[in-house]
A and B are shown apart, each in its own frame.
Chain A
Amino acid sequence: MSWIRDLINPQARTWESFYRNRWQHDRIVRSTHGVNCTGSCSWMIYVKDGIVTWEMQATDYPQLEAGIPPYEPRGCPRGITFSWYLYSPLRVKFPHVRGVLLDHWRQARAAHSDPLQAWAEVVGNEETRRAYQTARGKGGFRRVAWDEALEIIAVSMLYTAKKYGPDRVTGFSPIPAMSMISYAAGSRFLQLFGAAILSFYDLYADFPPASPETWGEKTDVAESADWFNSKYIVITGSNLNMTRTPDAHFAAEAKHRGAKLVALAPDFSEVSRLADWWIPVHSGMDAAFWMGVGHVILKEFHAQRQIPYFTDYLKRYSDSPFLIAVDETGAEPKPGRFLRAGRLSRYAAVENGEWKFLVFDARSGEPRMPRGAIGGRWQTRQGCWNLELKDEMDGTEIDPLLSLLECHDAELTLNFQDFGTNHAFRRAVPVKYVETDGGRLAVTTVYDLLMAQYGVARGLAGEYPRTYDDAEASYTPAWQEQFTGIGRNTIIRFAREFASTAEKTGGKCTVIVGSGVNHWYHANLHYRSSIAALMLCGCVGVNGGGLNHYTGQEKLVPGASWSALAMALDWSAPPRLQNGPSFHYVHSDQWRYESAPADPGPQRGPFSRHVMDQQVDAVRMGWLPFYPQFDESPVELVRRAEEEGATTDDEIKQWVVTQLKHRRLHLAVEDPDASENWPRVWLIWRANAILSSAKGHEYFLKHYLGTHDNAIAAEVAKDSVQEVLWREPARNGKMDLVVDLNFRMDTSALYSDIVLPSATWYEKDDLNTTDLHSYIHPLGAAVPPCWESKTDWEIFKALAEKVSAMSVKYFAAPFRDLVATPLLHDTPDDLAQPSVKNWHRGECEPVPGKTMPHLALVTRDYVNLHHKFCSLGPRLREEGLEDRGLQIRIEDWYDRFAASAPRYEWGGRQYPSLATAIDAANAILHFGPEVNGEMAYRSFEARERETGLQLTDLAGGNRDVYYDFHALKAQPRRILTNACWSGIVNAGRPYSAYCQNIERLVPWRTLTGRQHLYLDHEAYLAFGENLPSFKPRISLEASLNLVSSSPEGECLTLNCLTPHGKWHIHSTYSDDLRMLTLSRGIEPFWLNDKDAARIGVEDNDWVEAYNDNGVIATRAAVSARIPAGTGFFYHAPERTIAFPKSPMRGNRRGGGTNSVTRLRLKPVLMAGGYAQHCYRFNDYGPAASDRDTYVLVRKLPGKPRW
């Protein structure tokens, strides 16, 4: 072995400096990636010679309690390549304007001394307009100076505000949590201007509607470290390895601590490999699986044998014991609404009796009204809104009966609908008769209804299944087989393991769920059926338990202080906040391509109509926001009202109400294709609004941009809409100007009119949080913004300055703007509409804030807009902070901040400065109850006032803790226990949702104050979604995807799924050379091996996938891990990547994932003015969906062409 020896001569090793030189560097700065991945990983950025060379994960997260694995290192393959972008050939280095527009603008600008007139000429001339609109997306950008670009944008905004109203200006940026200062830059500017900004969480279909339905909360979940506390982990529709890369280790480690891991996925996905069991449930059929599981749990762990832990849990923390009145109005009796306490003589005099509810009390043998209902929150008498099982009226103890089985007056046979097989089942439930103001009523409990719904007989009459093998009756293990493809034995074993683990551990079972389930049209039902299983086993609000939904980085932790700044609430309110799905459904005219709702729903009544009609009604009744508001300018309206004699705010508002009532004024949503109702200017930042965010992307290209598109769907709504004006033809190219702030030339940048170069995440200071861990940490500038780029904060500041300077001419004096806003959750609006009444149909009077939107007058001061942007306004001092209905006073801390923070002076006054991003970050940190111990303490004081509970001890130990921006740059810091969130994280305990509710008896912000298994809003009763149930995925026929498209040659018809991919985070990184190298140089379309063989496609062949909405042309990846009948096109690669032209669609460029989708809104999710069914920006409303999509797939004929 003579050749294996140490090198003796040390000189022979001096060459080793070769690699040492490469490693050496000059500076390391902490930052992270402001991308919608939910990772929120802390990174160290290495700088050498003034150039960012690479990034490595930070490993200094403060430790949680002993026995929990550490968080380090957090990071993923996407994040670790980000440095490539800084100097890549895709970098946007300078401001750009498309040449066609620029030429027209310069020409007009030269001809007119008044820039507004110049802009009027550009957008007013149809030929000019068509010319620059059809050029969109087709190259031809030219470099311009910052000043010129800003002038065009400012002019377009001022022109729009003047001619149509500021609510025709729109902004879009998603996920503030990933870089909250950058988001706030644009939103603050736009709110001061009076523009509308669009939501994202619901548009992305990341928002889980079942969360507000059940808990009255947008989303609240455990941090990933808490998975380690779990003993039974069910992972469904969530590919942890791929999409929760930095967190997946906790699942792997939990296994070694004795947890069982079960993965539900249609394909053998990455997480399936990690699991003990892989259960390949058919895609889009998850609720059937969980209903089968619920059947077994109810039968074996509730009916046949009672587990005290389970029953106690349900009595105290769920609506299970609450009384439901039987609805005997129809042909057959069926479950109706919660019985209102006020209808009983005993409670006739209580305040908000319509909003308080009853259980059957074992002690008194009478219906009793426990504390905690929503009516108890918004009443004069404060301090008794809690979950103590006491009568709210007199404080007597209550022992609620879960079931009336042992004491019923009668058995009543009710009708239960099975939407899977389209059968109705008649099943008896035990009822008691109760005397009410409307006579004797039959009531039963939610729990008894659950037993009947799930088909657990308990000796009652009716069409109950006798055994698990009864495949005809919903919802047995045998019944679910036809939908899920999973055998009954697996369901039964799974249910037994799940429930017995919960029994032995006090609820340590968790369901980790993601977009694979949430992106379906009926996602709320899929979720509710798994939530039901969790609740029946006492798993929610327990460390190691609960429903953990992770899709979208929605958790902006210091929400109260951030929104004050981001929505410019320190100067004025209310802001204009628009739900994205409705906005795009209406304005991009996607409603015109829909004939009937995808879910047929009821035959009659207001919920039976076209979705667009229901959308219009939802706006009328104040359920959903809509901008533009009216077919007139909201500024002009105020002027007209005053002209006609209105003097006070109330008179102005009343004048507007009267105009609406008499149809002299219309809502814009009633006539969205009228040119005065179009959105005109669109500012996009931190987003790929035109591609990855654009459900129905091709319709965006057509109706917003007026450029080429590949949709061939027919407009079919004409004869089925009643509440909206049908105009022929549909209008293309509604947007006057689309502006994109970007650091890379992505699809949205390419299709915009103006691209402004923005700083990357390694070139700016910002803040970042997530729900997957409990730290707050910064983005930091490792190098200054490269080339001519600027941070978002600086860009919007510069734009504000430009707008203010130009406004001296056009808006010299402050003016008033009438703002309409919907009924909001966590306000007294929770009690607005006990029953659905539509003023527009004369069913009630239009009353702002009750039966229709709120109206408010807001003063705008464009000349000082820039100053306001740069200073923290005094309104914050007066109004304090608000979060989820909690009011926190801060005067003393405002003064303290004013004394210590940098100052900004204007109009003869000094204010705390917001001139820099760090100033803004420090303002957010200074007032946030999550990051300032004193504010945390005050949040509990506020909660104590509401609930009468002792709670401040939860924050007592942290009152002196306070983080500023520099502290975060030194090390990520852990958030504090506070009343704005529901977890308890003291002493390093992992965050788990709803622990405060369980351990401290704080009510959920729902109708009964409990977790809801039953939803009694009229819309839910109409659609049959009052109880957990199953609706299958939308059928091919109902999807309308393949009406105009037909098979050409050998074709497959596939359900097209668009899961989150491995080599990109949405579109970001999809064009990154490293990611493209490690994948296949393109985003392929994945096919099952046998399917592929049927159309003669081999691995890496070119294919086309098409439907009426558009077409995708790419290569195939072929594997047996993809289920037959299904195609995967991983979510949202850029359209700019080597995708060829499509022979199928006239040899125009093939599109992206959203080219084959079209927006569908689920009407039941529009419900408003009713407790947890109340709007909140991003946190409520109809979510978009994309999985119920079908395509034809063929081999691409001939050679691909570019």
Chain B
Amino acid sequence: MNVRVQVSMVFHLDKCIGCHTCSLACKNLWTSRPGAEYMWWNNVETKPGTGYPTLYEDQDEYHGGWEVKDGKLQLKLNTRAGELLNISYNPRLPALDDYYEPWTYSYDDVTNAPPQDDQPVFKPISSVTGKEMDIEAGPNWDDDLGGSGIYAANDPNLASLPDQQREQLLSVERIVYFYLPRMCNHCVNPSCVAACPSGAIYKRGEDGIVLVSQEKCRGWRMCVSGCPYKKVYFNWETGKAEKCILCYPRLETGQAPACMHSCPGRIRYLGVLLYDADRIEETALHADNELVDAQREMILDPFDPEVIRQAKANGVEDHVIESAQKSPVFKFVKKWKIALPFHPEFRTLPMLFYVPPLLPVTGTSNEEGLYDTSSDFFSSLENARLPIRYMANLFAAGDEDQVIRIYKKMMAGRYFKRAQSVGGAEDASIAEMLTEAATTSEELEEIYELTTLASFDERFVIPPSSREAAIELVQITLDRQEGGGMGFVHEPRRGL
């Protein structure tokens, strides 16, 4: 057992309101500069939809992530040997059109407009060419575009649904969409790291954050191709790859990442997971329908004395172990098993988990066009607007049982709480529902509290960071205190 530390995350999609505040918090802090305009380290997608960059989930096209070949794990992009041959030519790279051409406006046409015979307006200007442009795509182009024959209908995750079900998504009875916030998954088996020919990408030992060294990066962009989530970006100004850094400057000072801090839906949770690094390869080799369970197995119980012993042996500090014990992510992922990884079949072992959303019940329309809702009291598993199959394609490599088990527990929780506060449902039927969902009233109460009442400090359990010890590896800490910050800061530029 090789116990490692991962700062990990859960997104409760049932609470996500699709506001994009997370994306903008991140944009403000990290990517509002030349060369990074088009980067959205954090973005929010409308699902079903084609995403950003367009159709990134389609690995037949992009070849991101891993595949199992001859019982071995290898990059889908190419083999190690193939990579070297391919080093200067990378056909799997998304082009500008797959993202979008970033733009600004000729604002001055309005602010300092000369006298003219009609009201002035400002026009879009390409940030790449500086010329006037037609806007045909953006980073969030299909926002709220449920029921779009162009966007929603072409979601790759719908491909395995019967035609009839897909067509229904354009009708009032079944039209639906929900939101999927996305950021770097800080994977345990990151294909970006594996793909980098320069060795510039690494996973930090103390917290599992995956970083691209801005010193070592040589701009090969293999990481961009290698990441199946397309969460590594190429900065065209500095010529280096950049990606979500999980706000380590904030985390290291005890503050939640900006995207999490700023989430008004209160959907995000952060905390430490301990995992067994010896089992990474074995886990990633499982068959599609076993991947979710295998990954859960790889994650360790921080209360298990043996895990604690091995963790200490690996140099994991006491306060980090305590933090892992308080981790809300541990509860959602391992204890209650109601959060799932995104596209586990990409086999990068992503360490960001999603609680799937409950969706409104379907309706029926009669021949006069009169609409009636289905008779379920709450949104239901059977009459949910998106087929379970779709959710399973997103979060369980197609394994519907994984999704069904979670929905049953979530619905049991709602009926249980309603019975508690309104009454009405028979005790017997609630008990039956709990059994069916393989849960207990105690567990549902715990889930309820973390889902609804959790305060900032309960949602984000940030392990103390031993910065003084880390600094001591390169400099006497007292010297840092006394001279810290003195010196010249240069703007990043090509070849830094």
Interface residues of A (CB under 8 A from B): 1, 3-7, 10-16, 18-24, 53-57, 59, 67-70, 72-77, 80-81, 83, 88-92, 99-100, 135, 137-141, 228, 231, 240-242, 245-246, 248-249, 252-253, 255-260, 263, 268, 270, 272-280, 481, 485-487, 489-490, 493, 497, 500-501, 504-505, 708, 745, 750-751, 1062, 1071, 1073-1074, 1076-1082, 1089, 1099-1100, 1117-1121, 1123, 1135-1139, 1141, 1148-1149, 1202
Contact = CB atoms under 8 A, between A and B. Distances in A.
B482 interface: no
Contacts of A21: 489
A80 B113 contact: no
Given A81-B24, A260-B378, A1120-B175, 10 more contacts: A4-B194, A89-B111, A245-B264, A246-B264, A249-B17, A272-B360, A277-B361, A490-B372, A1121-B147, A1138-B123
A260 B15 CA distance: 14
A932 B213 CA distance: 56
Interface stretch (B300-308, B394-402, B418-426): B418-426
Contacts, number: 361
14 contacts: A4-B190, A4-B203, A10-B473, A76-B19, A76-B21, A76-B264, A83-B28, A253-B453, A268-B146, A273-B179, A278-B363, A486-B372, A1077-B139, A1081-B124
Nearest to B424: A504
A253 B452 contact: yes
A139 B21 contact: no
A98 B259 CA distance: 43
Most buried by B among A23, A69, A279, A489: A23
Given A76-B21, A258-B419, A486-B370, A4 B280 contact: yes
A1089 B19 contact: no
A77 B366 contact: no
A258 B447 CA distance: 13
Contacts of A88: 107
B7 to A, nearest CB: 14
B139 A277 contact: no
Contacts of A23: 29, 247, 249-250
B158 interface: no
Contacts of A253: 15, 266, 451-453
Nearest to B110: A1136
Contacts of A72: 455-456
Nearest to A1147: B118
Interface in B240-266: 245, 247-250, 252, 258, 261-266
Contact of A1081 (B103, B451, B470): B103
Interface stretch (B84-92, B325-333, B409-417, B431-439): B409-417
A74 B473 CA distance: 40
B483 interface: no
Given A138-B120, A139-B113, A487 B102 contact: no
B260 to A, nearest CB: 10
B456 A70 contact: yes
Interface in B373-397: 373, 375-379
Contact of B21 (A22, A80, A278): A80
Contacts of B250: 23
B456 A140 contact: no
A53 B373 CA distance: 48
Contact of B27 (A274, A1074, A1117, A1136): A1074
Nearest to B453: A69
Contacts of B21: 75-77, 80, 245
Interface residues of B, number: 130
Given A99-B115, A252-B17, A260 B417 contact: no
A1118 B202 contact: no
Contact of A73 (B115, B178, B280, B456): B456
Nearest to B454: A69
B268 to A, nearest CB: 10
Interface string B141-162: 1011111111100000000000
Nearest to B140: A1078
B144 A1120 contact: no
Contacts of B148: 1089, 1099, 1118-1120
Contact of A1149 (B107, B121, B413, B414): B121
A785 B140 CA distance: 34
A7 B205 contact: yes
Given A7-B202, A80-B25, A1136 B120 contact: yes
Contacts of A1141: 118
Contacts of B105: 1071, 1073, 1076, 1137-1138
A972 to B, nearest CB: 15
A50 to B, nearest CB: 16
Contact of B262 (A22, A57, A273, A1078): A57
A487 B266 CA distance: 36
Most buried by A among B177, B265, B492: B265
Nearest to A254: B452
B211 interface: yes
Most buried by B among A14, A57, A257, A1074: A257
A163 to B, nearest CB: 30
B121 A1137 contact: yes
A1120 B171 CA distance: 7
A1071 B104 CA distance: 11
A11 B140 contact: no
A256 B417 contact: yes
B75 to A, nearest CB: 10
Contacts of B366: 487
B123 A1202 contact: yes
A272 B173 CA distance: 13
B4 to A, nearest CB: 9
Given A708-B118, A1119-B148, A485 B371 contact: yes
Contacts of A501: 422
A1118 B150 CA distance: 9
A268 B249 CA distance: 40
Contact of B452 (A242, A257, A260, A490): A257
A1120 B361 CA distance: 18
A80 B30 contact: no
Contact of B360 (A83, A135, A278): A278
Contacts of B119: 137-138, 708, 750-751, 1135-1136, 1149
A231 B108 contact: no
